[in-house]
Each structure stands twice: as C-alpha cells, then as structure tokens.
Structure 1
Amino acid sequence: MPFPDLVQPELGAYVSSVGMPDDFVQFWTSTIADARQAGGEVSIVQAQTTLTAVQSFDVTFPGYGGHPIKGWLILPTHHEGRLPLVAQYIGYGGGRGLAHEQLHWAASGFAYFRMDTRGQGSDWSVGETADPVGSTSSIPGFMTRGVLDKNDYYYRRLFTDAVRAIDALLGLDFVDPERIAVCGDSQGGGISLAVGGIDPRVKAVMPDVPFLCDFPRAVQTAVRDPYLEIVRFLAQHREKKAAVFETLNYFDCVNFARRSKAPALFSVALMDEVCPPSTVYGAFNAYAGEKTITEYEFNNHEGGQGYQERQQMTWLSRLFGVG
C-alpha cells in the first residue's frame, strides 16, 4: 500500500495549526477542581485470579462528577518501599479487560494500573464502567457525543477520569509520588498526553500512535474511523463546523503537548490509516518537554506493539532507576 500521509523530511517538519483557546488552562483547572470537590470513595479489593507472581486488585475510584470508575491494579508480589507507577489508558472501544492480561510492568518492578474507559469496552476488550451522562444528537461512537458544547463533550469526562485515577493511586503508601508515568496506544495515547498536560505530578509520558491529535488535519487525512465519525456528523450538520472545532480545541492533544514538561517517548506508524502520522508529529513537535519518537515505517495503526513495549520498559526503567 502507498504511504497515506506525509513522508520524511516533510513529516518531521510538520507544525500543527491548532490554536489554544485563551481560557484553556482555566477550563481544565476548574474541571478538575469540580471533580475533586465531588468526592467519592476509593475501593481496592483482591481480584479473583490464579496469579501468584503478582498481586491483582479490583479498584473503583471516583472520576468526573464522582462517577465510579473501574481499573486493575497489579503489583509485584514481593516488593519493598515505594514503587514507581505506570497508569495505562485504553484504546478506542476497549475496556480494562481481564486482570491477568498485561503483566509485563508488574513483572518489571512497577506498580501498574489499567483504567477502564467509561461507556466503552464492548469492541475488542471488555469494560465494566458505565457513562451515566446523556448526549445531544451524535454519530454512533464517542467522537461527537456532546461535541457542540465543551462542557458536555464526552472527552471532558474521560480525561477527568484519567487525572482522578492519579489522585486515587497517589494516596497509596506503596506508590512513589515522584515516579509517575502514563501510557497508552491510540485513544490511550491521547489520554496520556492530556493527563501529562494537565497534571504536573506526571514525570513520564509514553503515547503510542496517539489519537485525538490535530483534529483539523485528522478529519481531512484519516482513512478509517474514528475521526470519520466527525466527518459524518458534519456532513449532516453542515452549519455546525465552527461550533464543533471550537469544542475540539479544548481536547486536542496538540494543546496538551504544548503544556507538558515531563520526558516523553512517542511512537508513530507511517502507514497508519487511523491516526495519520502527521497528526502524531503535530503533537510531538508541539511537545514542550524532553522527547523522542520511534517510527514504524511499514506498520499501520497496530504500530510497534511488543517492540514498543520493550522500548518503553527500557526507557522508563532507566529514567526511574528501576533494575
């Protein structure tokens, strides 16, 4: 197949035209403050598994609006002192899955948390967290739920959940508050960029083939969903383009990247039809902290998979002094 987007050197030089709203910081500061004010209980109970080399816990914590959000917490069975934490967010349509999946972080000496995604988790992995908030008219999927008002947009709730997960985990006496990392692929990569841009407690960001970056370019260049949900919405709501992109500017990970100071390890797939590589470079080139990016030249949206996980483990272990 031909490369669907820009190639080097034009790709590496690409600069996003996304603008940051004047009240971007205030919007997110007040959003997170309101969620914290809503409060809610954190529950951590032993998960029912046969695993013995790691400890597995079923976690419920308060997210946006105090709504209960699920997650898995996995720890090395034998550990001393405070552990570095890796919080992982999930790709589009997926949920937290099962407790015995994704054990490589705990096996490498990290506390590992995999957050469920409200309202998702019935496509390629299971979830158990409802989204109790309704929506105005939208295309099936999540990209246009509440998109005509930044206060009602679905990703306001999801990004807030992700920050509140950090709040819940930092209250645990075995978590090192100075060694907090976030990661994820696709939608999860976008969420990790958002959390890194909102929460200065995050000390490392690892977005793989990140989604939710450079919306104006994405809707013009993506070949496959989910960005095309926005296209189909605007094909019917022809007069609402300005309102849609005004909302999306508050959730564009290019803007979060501009505010992120933690070291970051990105990845991009140059044949990606879901998250066009120029949109990833739009966020990468805007990223304000120390950064590096790995290219998978001949891969589509699957990106580096195990190869990138191996690179993440090496990179983060060195950064956090593990092993």
Structure 2
Amino acid sequence: MKKSILIPLFVLWIGIVTGQPARQPVEVRVVPEHADWCVARGERIRFSVSVWKDGHYLSDVPLEYECGPEKMSAMRRDRLVYKGGELSVDAGSSEIPGFVSCRVEVEFDGKKYSDIAKVGVDPQAIEAVAEMPDDFDQFWDREIAALAAVPLDARMTLMPERCTGRSNVYHVSFQNDRPGSRIYGILSVPKAPGHYPAILNVPGAGVRPYQGDTYLSDEGFISLTIGIHGIPVNLDAEVYESLSNGALDHYWVQGLDSREDFYYRRVYLGLVRSIDFIYSLPQFDGCFVAVSGGSQGGALSIVAAALDKRVSCYTAFYPALCDLTGYLNGRAAGWPAMFRYEKDKDRETIERKAAVSAYYDVVNFARKVNVPGFFSWGYKDEVCPPTSMYAAYNAVKAPKKLAVYPDTGHWNYPEQWVKKQHFIKSMIPNQQ
C-alpha cells in the first residue's frame, strides 16, 4: 500500500547537509538592482554593493570589483575606497542571452572578504553549444542492449545498526556493465508488507561513503542511494580519501580520449542497472521510479530519465556536466569545466576529447527526456554556472518546472527540497 510522504523530518535532515555557507564577521553584499535578477537584452545592468559589520555599514575600506560575462574575462573593473552605504556599480549591457557577473572584494584587518552576484540576460533564450552526434542514439542503445548479457547478481547484506522501527537497511551491490564490475549502494525498504514506489538517489561528485535514506523509506518509499565508483560504500573514511588522492583523482576526465573508455560510461550504464535492481525487488510497486540528485547527481538524474523509459520523473538540483564545450565557444561551461584550461593545448587532442564529451553532455540527454522534471538552482553558483544549466533546461521539451532561488550558490535552502518532495509526490498515481 502506498503511503503519503511526510516532509518535516526529511527537511530537518537535509538542512544539515546542504552546505549553506557560514556567516562571517564582515559581510560583503552584492545584489542586482533588478528584483528578479534578470534583464532583457540590451537593458542596463546595475549592482548594489554594501559592506557590513555588526549590522552596520563599514567605511573607509579598500574595495575592488570586476564585471563581465559569467566565468569569462572582466569587461569592467575598478579599485576604490568604500565610504559606507549603498554603492551602485554599472556593469553595462549585453545583447547575448547569458549571465553577467559582478565580483566584489574588500580587505579588513588583513583579511579579504568577497561576494558575487549575477544577472540573467534573457536566460530562457540561452541555447546550448553542445552538438548532438549523429549516432548518439545508436551508441547508447547498443551499450544498454549489451547489459542484458550481464547477470544482475544482486547481493544484499542487512545493516541492523542502521535499521529503524519502520525500515530495513541493506548494503547492496549488483553487476554493472561487465562481469566483476559492480555498483554499490544503500537500500532502505519499508518493513510493513506492501508494494512501494521507489526513489533512486544519485550522488554528487567525489569519493565518499553513503548512509542511505531512511527518512523516505519510513514514509513509504523504497530508497536506493548509489555510489558510482564500483567500491563498497560503507568503508572507513581513509579508504575514500586514499582513492580520491590516488586512483580516482580527477576521475571525471579519465579516458576522455575514447567514448568507450571515458569514466562516465560505466556510471551512466550503472543508472540503468540500478533501475534493473529496483525492479527486481519484491516490495517494488512495479511502476513508479523517481531519480533525484544534485550537482553531478543532478546531471545523472537527467541522464537516467533519458536513457531508461522506466523512469517516471526526475529532479535535478544545480546539474553538472552541462554544455561541456562552452569554454571552447567563448562562454561558461558546466562542471568539471574540462576545456577551460585545456583550450590552448594542441587542436587535434582538444577536438578528439570534445567529440567524446558530446556523448556524455547532459544537454544531449536533456534533448531526449520525455518525462516530467523538477529543477532548482541559484544564480550565484560558481561550480555549475547558470549559463550551462539553462542550456540544458531550455533543451528539455517534456513537462518541467524550475524553482530559481537567485541568491543561492552551489547549495540550497530546505524550502527547495520541500518543493522537490511535493513534486515527486504529485507524480505518483493516486496521490495528491
């Protein structure tokens, strides 16, 4: 039997882990003089700058600012002595859809403090620069078809110390793209007899253990949280630190010379295998799978929705891996900005890597999505620039919702997660 989702406990937990920046004794505030942080093409862009300490304006402190297209060379910059109050900064105008940023830095008592804000210039008109390979569908259809020859070989180990009164928790694994290559994760399943909808939680970038999500399973979901690196997700922290600084250092560019060898090939195929695993569970309701994640996980949510028709809906917070060749075309690209610092290397190598990246660019998967999606991000994000995220979002033709919280960076407010949960709930048949 399906159960309604209760929000408060989940929100309490998520508020702890979303990474909202801590306050500092000196606060630099950069705010667009446009209520919705957006302007039309050709409209003048202005930012209001102020510096605060103990709730009052500071004065007579050195201040520097620079303005220009997001993540690109500054078009305007200046140094001055901030005298207190509101300082208006003219950032010019732009005829090109995208984002214009203003970064401000002050020095006080020998320490530097900074802030950044961005204004969207007709962001709904941003078009991706990513090119769709002619054989994109054939490549992924062939890769997914090959999975059928690999036995799932699912393994589950109960973790009594993580179980709750309403949920059982397991460390699980199953074979991925070839025998011996495995996906590991934490599975939380309601104890009460019945058949339940499922959520696949996909991870942000990095190498780490995972706890799973009993908040969702306690309220009537099967919840599967996966890692992407083919290693157990319940090991000691030092194991992940060693791998992060060793074999998995910069994993996001490993094998980029070949579409068959690129690191994310096994990751993307692992999404399909994860859904295979969910479908193998006797507690699964057999019809509803949502995929959810942020940053790298936001990217993987979109990819899963495009690759696997069994996905019912998806949610993506500040998705990475969007419009990867942006820097080769004079504008911001998504994390991991793989061509930002390589564009001066030999042209043949860059072109080969760029061609491979097209098979993994989230924009090209966004173009293939056919199920509803929920997106949320902020305009101050420096990890996943909003230019790149809008490039992917605007490429989606299926039903979609976007909740913008302009003053957030690569983090989110609990309210955004509440909206995400309500969206997922609204997608479940027979739910209100």
Cα-to-partner distance string for 1:287-323 (whole Å, 9 max, x where unaligned): 121100111111111134x322211111111210447
CA distance in 2, matches of 1:103, 1:34: 33
**Residue 319 and residue 167 in structure 1: after superposition, are their counterparts in 2 closer, same or farther (change >3 A)?**
same
Counting strand residues as a fraction of each chain, which structure ranks higher?
Answer: 2
> Does structure 2 conserve the Cα–Cα contact (< 8 Å) formed by 1:185 and 1:208?
yes
Superposition deviation, residue 84 in structure 1: 0.6
Unpaired segments of 5 or more residues in structure 2?
1-29, 33-69, 71-97, 100-118, 241-246
**Residue 56 and residue 22 in structure 1: after superposition, are their counterparts in 2 closer, same or farther (change >3 A)?**
same
Report 1:1-323 matches (<5 A): 1=30, 4=70, 6=99, 7-53=119-165, 54-66=167-179, 67-78=181-192, 80-99=193-212, 102-118=213-229, 140-217=249-326, 221=331, 226-304=335-413, 306-320=414-428, 321-322=430-431
Superposition deviation, residue 239 in structure 1: 3.6
> Does structure 1 conserve the Cα–Cα contact (< 8 Å) formed by 2:185 and 2:232?
no
User: Which amino acid is the alignment partner of residue 186 of structure 1?
Assistant: S
Q: How many residues align?
A: 309
Superposition deviation, residue 146 in structure 1: 0.7
Counting helix residues as a fraction of each chain, which structure ranks higher?
Answer: 1
> Does structure 2 conserve the Cα–Cα contact (< 8 Å) formed by 1:234 and 1:240?
no
Could you say what secondary structure the match of 2:172 adopts? strand
Cα-to-partner distance string for 1:94-142 (whole Å, 9 max, x where unaligned): 445124xx333223321100011216899xx96989xxxxxxxx99412
Q: TM-score, normalised by structure 2?
A: 0.65
User: Which amino acid is the alignment partner of residue 254 of structure 1?
Assistant: V
Cα-to-partner distance string for 1:212-258 (whole Å, 9 max, x where unaligned): 111122676559x9524443345445541111110011001111111
Which one has a bigger Cα radius of gyration?
Answer: 2
CA distance in 1, matches of 2:301, 2:178: 20
Unpaired segments of 5 or more residues in structure 1?
130-137
User: Which amino acid is the alignment partner of residue 315 of structure 1?
Assistant: F
User: Which amino acid is the alignment partner of residue 224 of structure 2?
Assistant: F
> Does structure 2 conserve the Cα–Cα contact (< 8 Å) formed by 1:95 and 1:127?
no
CA distance in 2, matches of 1:300, 1:84: 32
Superposition deviation, residue 177 in structure 1: 2.6
Could you say what secondary structure the match of 1:166 adopts? helix
CA distance in 1, matches of 2:208, 2:147: 22
C-alpha RMSD over aligned residues:
2.9
Q: Which moved more, 1:229-238 or 1:57-66?
A: 229-238
Superposition deviation, residue 182 in structure 1: 0.4
User: Which amino acid is the alignment partner of residue 81 of structure 1?
Assistant: G
Ranked by relative contact order (alpha carbons within 8 Å, sequence separation 6 or more), the top structure is: 1
Q: Which moved more, 1:273-282 or 1:209-218?
A: 209-218
Superposition deviation, residue 92 in structure 1: 0.5
Superposition deviation, residue 9 in structure 1: 4.9
Superposition deviation, residue 176 in structure 1: 2.0
**Residue 231 and residue 298 in structure 1: after superposition, are their counterparts in 2 closer, same or farther (change >3 A)?**
same
Q: TM-score, normalised by structure 1?
A: 0.86
CA distance in 1, matches of 2:195, 2:343: 49
Superposition deviation, residue 49 in structure 1: 1.4
Could you say what secondary structure the match of 2:168 adopts? strand
CA distance in 2, matches of 1:185, 1:235: 31
User: Which amino acid is the alignment partner of residue 85 of structure 1?
Assistant: A
State percent identity of aligned pairs.
Answer: 26
Q: Which moved more, 1:258-267 or 1:41-50?
A: 41-50
Superposition deviation, residue 156 in structure 1: 0.7
